[in-house]
């Protein structure tokens, strides 16, 4: 077994950093291996007893740490100490071999220096004589005081014990004993797990027995028992990870705890940190202990399944995360990345418990933890040069910190203002699937995500969704890391997202860290790949079955009858083969020569939206106060019309087109599966919201003063009143101070849900026909869906000027270009929107603002009377070199004002 371990030494060293020490210890206790291994033979001949083997183990470990870390004394003269001047550094393998040689010749061994930041040597020194310290079962008073002065018997900490040691160190003005204790406990997973436990209330029988005991005798017995336990643990060959969870007390503690509780006293930990972190030397002990602790914890969680045996293991992470200095620069290089790697190995149940626990924290505490992981991610991103060859996805520290940030994210959601009850019911009839086989099925592969987009496992474990949170503890925007978004290669990341391999991490699985622009790019890749897949399927069917080749979703429409032509064609496609809706859209206006490379589709959507949302049609009502549309509950249009409108909305997202629609936010929340509530009336119907709010806040007698019943009235298209009972016989039930909350909730439910139930269900059904297999719901929140559909309302033309490119002989310093931007900036808001419509096909800015719009201004010949023209498919403005600024303004205004139709130049 030993030889097998030596052969696999390089691989084992990467998996377990302490494997060299383990091998050294193993060598010290093996009787013999071969005549060629002289050091092992010497050790075997000189150390035959169990106690001697333990002592040899500790000495070899001390030699090893002296060679790799040093004693900490800057003026050390020991030539075999890493702290001495001129010492030649060696790798871990050479240090292990040299440690055996030094042990053989009984070489000089340095004493750990008090200023040494590392605590490993002190830890080894304190354990080297643990057997002799506990050899006598009954200690006299002097021996007990000596043990207490050195605190070598302290294997775990309590708040009282920390203050006791701190007081003694303060009297002597020497904090090295406390530093050693912290180093020993905080570098040991077992010691940290047992530390700062909540005090248990004693039972009546325990109190009676305690009253009859002699206090001094009891104290001596406790000291002896502790020493005995320490000696047994030192002699035991099992690892700390295997010992964790064996005690029945730990298991019993966990059984009594709630799902959002742990056995550690968090308030006590905070008080201890507050007292100790002000001391720089003590703070350094926490830092170096974490460096020593993290690899062992990672190994325990990866290979030993330690959490399933002892759920109290979670205490370790709770205690470390309470350190308010984790985000300081000293931790960012080594300590925090290693700890994040260990924390990212926690099983799903442990992550969920941490999220539930941290959900009870304040917004300031959540923000501190968010900043801790965000600073690590930013530091790693800025300090490295990531590109298409060196992907940020391959940086273990960034990936681990992002996984840890996900736990905080869901804690932030759980701790916010949740609404888990008002969920929309699923459609009774499933969305019809294509009768044709998918590309994967044609190729004999299993179809991925057949039931829709994926759901985050942690979200499922916690039983909540991001959309359930009305207002988080910390704004969602604080979880977005802009430097990461700038270096992320989204094409590669999307590939990892779809393949779902264990070896490659995709940041799309943590969409909270991505901004809307990056997520929109990921959605664009998903839509395009789906379009290409549908195109290839069509080609395969045309070859195998002789069907007509139709790789696009073709719509041929007349401008004067655009609604009739488009909706009839889409209705036929939805009935015959809904999968055709996921083909790339190709629009042709009858009698026009324009070729659709994107620009014709943009104008098609713009014209359709203008027609559909015309109040004269009666499908939607328009509020002059809010400038928003709402479903008309008394519309004469059938459900099929609303289904087709939903299809149009889904097609716009699918084909990356921006629509000029004006819905209240509750529409996008309902599309994401949430019902409208009283709070949604604030933007959907602010007048009604204010009235109901005043009703809730009214301090007088509601029944006598207002005389309201549970019957409400509405008006139809023709102004006729319609009565509706919120409850049975509502006209006979008065609204009182006691039932007014129920009245308000039912009123809002009727206005936002019940009154438009048929219309909205049909609308949502059409929308999902296009987006049901898209990662849309997984990636975006409702407010981001609105941004995706409607674009940005902020038109920053200065940002557009900065990003515009030039072609055909123009450049930024050309006279005509300078005059063009001066003219454009002098336009009013409406004229600027007309220019955008003329150049890009839409008067809205894309996600991220006009700075994300890639516009090109190309030279279109010398001075002429011809108007400027544009290629809306590619956002290209063809601008002749007009002789004067006045002529430029006149020609440009005429072009953008009377722009309609497509033609070939």
Burial class (CB in 10 A: 0-12, 13-18, 19+), 129: middle
The torsion of the CA quartet 534, 537, 543, 545, rounded to 10 degrees, works out to -110
What's the confidence (pLDDT) of residue 54?
Answer: 57
Three-state SS at 845: strand
What's the pLDDT score for residue 642? Answer: 87
Q: Is 16 a catalytic residue?
A: no
pLDDT value at residue 833:
83
**Contact of 80 with 104, CB cutoff 8 Å:** no
Beta strand 711-715 with 869-871 is unpaired
What interhelical angle do 335-343 and 396-414 show, nearest 10?
A: 60
Q: What is the pLDDT of residue 609?
A: 81
Is residue 188 within 8 Å of 239, Cβ to Cβ? no
Residues contacting 85, CB < 8 A, separation 6+? none
User: Between helices 639-654 and 782-790, what is the axis angle to 10°?
Assistant: 80
For residue 713, the cross-strand partners are 723
Pair 231, 137: CB distance under 8 Å? no
pLDDT in tens, 810-837: 888 889 998 899 998 998 888 888 888 8
pLDDT averaged over the chain?
Answer: 78
CA distances from 286 to 262, 384, 787 (A): 22, 27, 46
What are the mean pLDDT values of the chain's consecutive 10-residue runs (905 residues total)?
42 46 46 35 38 65 81 78 79 79 80 48 38 37 45 88 90 88 93 88 48 45 41 38 41 61 93 90 90 94 91 94 91 93 95 95 96 95 92 94 96 92 69 50 47 78 91 95 95 89 88 93 89 79 68 82 82 79 82 66 80 82 86 81 86 83 90 91 91 92 89 77 87 91 93 92 90 88 87 82 88 89 88 84 76 85 86 82 89 81 46
Cβ atoms of residues 113 and 179 within 8 Å: no
- Determine contact, residues 807/858, Cβ cutoff 8 Å: yes
Q: What's residue 477's pLDDT?
A: 94
Distance CA 566, CA 555 (A): 7
Q: What structural domains does the chain harbor?
A: 63-109 (no CATH), 160-196+260-346 (no CATH), 523-787 (3.90.1750.10), 791-898 (3.30.2410.10)
Best CA proximity match to 526, nearest among 536, 534, 514, 538: 534
**Do residues 224 and 139 lie in contact, with contact meaning Cβ atoms separated by under 8 Å?**
yes
DSSP string, 329-388: HHHHTTHHHHHHHHHTTS-HHHHHHHHHHHTTS-HHHHHHHHHHHHHHHHHHHHHS---S
What residues does 845 pair with on adjacent strands? 792
Q: How far is 740 from 570, CA to CA, in rounded Å? A: 46
Give the dihedral sign, CA 664/667/669/670. Answer: positive
Cα 302–Cα 306–Cα 311 angle in degrees, nearest 5: 130
What pTM did the predictor assign? 0.74
- How far apart CA 788 and CA 791 sit, in angstroms, is 6
Candidate list 25, 657, 790, 873, residue with the active-site label: 873
CA distance 377 to 392: 10
Radius of gyration of the chain (CA): 36
786, 665 Cβ separation under 8 angstroms? yes
pLDDT tens digits, 511-531 = 999 999 999 999 989 988 888
pLDDT score of 62: 81
């Amino acid at each position: 077994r030993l030889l097998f371990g030596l052969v696999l030494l390089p691989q084992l060293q990467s998996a377990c950093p302490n494997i060299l020490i383990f091998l050294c210890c193993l060598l010290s206790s093996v009787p013999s291996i071969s005549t060629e291994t002289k050091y092992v033979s010497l050790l075997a001949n000189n150390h035959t007893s169990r106690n001697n083997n333990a002592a040899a183990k500790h000495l070899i470990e001390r030699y090893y740490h002296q060679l790799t870390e040093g004693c900490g004394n800057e003026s050390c003269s020991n030539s075999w100490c890493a702290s001495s001047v001129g010492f030649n550094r060696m790798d871990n393998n050479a240090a292990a071999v040299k440690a055996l040689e030094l042990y053989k010749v009984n070489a000089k061994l340095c004493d750990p220096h008090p200023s040494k930041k590392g605590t490993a040597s002190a830890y080894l020194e304190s354990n080297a004589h643990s057997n002799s310290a506990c050899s006598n079962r009954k200690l006299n008073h002097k021996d007990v005081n000596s043990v207490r002065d050195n605190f070598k018997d302290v294997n775990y900490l309590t708040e009282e014990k920390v203050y006791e040691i701190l007081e003694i160190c303060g009297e002597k003005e020497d904090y090295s004993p406390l530093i050693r204790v912290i180093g020993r406990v905080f570098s040991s997973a077992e010691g940290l797990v047992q530390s700062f436990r909540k005090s248990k209330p004693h039972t009546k029988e325990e109190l009676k027995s305690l009253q009859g005991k002699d206090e001094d005798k009891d104290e001596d017995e406790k000291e002896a028992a502790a020493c005995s336990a320490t000696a047994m643990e030192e002699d035991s060959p099992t690892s700390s990870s295997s010992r964790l969870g064996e005690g029945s007390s730990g298991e019993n503690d966990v059984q009594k705890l709630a799902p959002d509780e742990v056995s550690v006293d968090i308030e006590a930990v905070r008080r201890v940190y507050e007292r100790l972190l002000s001391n720089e030397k003590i703070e350094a002990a926490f830092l170096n202990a974490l460096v020593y602790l993290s690899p062992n914890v990672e190994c325990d969680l990866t290979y030993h399944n330690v959490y399933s045996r002892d759920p109290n293991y979670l205490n370790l992470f709770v205690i470390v995360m309470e350190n308010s200095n984790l985000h300081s620069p000293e931790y960012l290089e080594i300590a925090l990345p290693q700890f994040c790697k260990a924390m990212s190995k926690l099983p799903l149940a442990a992550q969920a418990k941490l999220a539930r626990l941290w959900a009870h924290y304040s917004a300031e505490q959540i923000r501190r933890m968010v900043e801790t992981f965000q600073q690590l991610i930013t530091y790693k991103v800025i300090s490295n040069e990531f590109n298409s060859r060196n992907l940020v996805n391959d940086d273990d520290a960034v990936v681990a910190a992002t996984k840890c940030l996900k736990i905080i994210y869901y804690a932030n959601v759980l701790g916010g203002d949740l609404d888990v009850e008002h969920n929309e019911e699923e459609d009774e009839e499933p969305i019809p699937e294509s009768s044709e086989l998918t590309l994967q099925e044609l190729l004999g592969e299993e179809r991925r995500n057949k039931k829709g987009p994926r759901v985050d496992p942690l979200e499922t474990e916690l039983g909540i969704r991001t959309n359930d949170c009305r207002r988080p503890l910390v704004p969602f925007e604080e979880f977005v890391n802009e430097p990461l978004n700038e270096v992320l290669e989204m094409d590669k990341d999307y590939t990892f997202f779809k393949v779902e391999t264990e070896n490659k991490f995709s940041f799309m699985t943590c969409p909270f860290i991505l901004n809307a622009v990056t997520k929109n790019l990921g959605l664009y890749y998903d839509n395009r790949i789906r379009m290409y897949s549908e195109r290839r399927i069509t080609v395969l069917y045309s070859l195998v079955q002789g069907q007509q080749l139709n790789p696009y979703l073709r719509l041929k429409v007349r401008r004067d009858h655009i609604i009739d032509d488009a909706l009839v064609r889409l209705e036929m496609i939805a009935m015959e083969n809904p999968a055709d809706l996921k083909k790339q859209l190709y629009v042709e206006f009858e009698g026009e020569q324009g070729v659709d490379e994107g620009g014709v589709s943009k104008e098609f959507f713009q014209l359709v939206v203008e027609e559909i949302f015309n109040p004269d049609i009666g499908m939607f009502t328009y509020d002059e106060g809010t400038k928003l549309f709402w479903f008309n509950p008394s519309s004469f249009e059938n459900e099929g019309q609303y289904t087709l409108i939903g299809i149009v909305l889904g097609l716009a997202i699918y084909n990356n087109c921006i629509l000029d629609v004006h819905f209240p936010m509750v529409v996008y929340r309902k599309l994401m599966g949430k019902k409208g509530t009283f709070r949604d009336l604030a933007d959907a119907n602010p007048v009604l919201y204010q009235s109901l709010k005043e009703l809730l806040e009214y301090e007088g007698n509601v029944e006598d003063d207002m005389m309201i019943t549970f019957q409400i009235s509405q008006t139809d298209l023709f102004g006729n009143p319609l009565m509706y009972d919120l409850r049975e016989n509502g006209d006979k039930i008065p609204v009182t101070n006691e039932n007014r909350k129920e009245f308000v909730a039912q009123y809002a439910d009727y206005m936002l849900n019940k009154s438009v139930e048929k219309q909205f269900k049909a609308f949502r059904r059409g929308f999902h026909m296009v987006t049901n297999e898209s990662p849309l719901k997984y990636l975006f929140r409702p407010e981001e869906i609105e941004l995706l559909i409607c674009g940005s309302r902020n038109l920053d033309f200065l940002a557009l000027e900065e990003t515009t490119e030039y072609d055909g002989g123009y450049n930024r310093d050309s006279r005509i270009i300078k005059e063009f931007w001066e003219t454009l900036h002098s336009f009013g808001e409406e004229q600027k929107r007309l220019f955008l419509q003329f150049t890009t096909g839409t008067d809205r800015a894309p996600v991220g603002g006009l700075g994300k719009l890639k516009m090109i201004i190309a030279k279109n010949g010398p001075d002429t009377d011809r108007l400027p023209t544009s290629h809306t498919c590619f956002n290209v403005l063809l601008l002749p070199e007009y002789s004067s600024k006045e002529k430029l303004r006149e020609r440009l205004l005429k072009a953008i004002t009377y722009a309609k139709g497509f033609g070939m130049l």
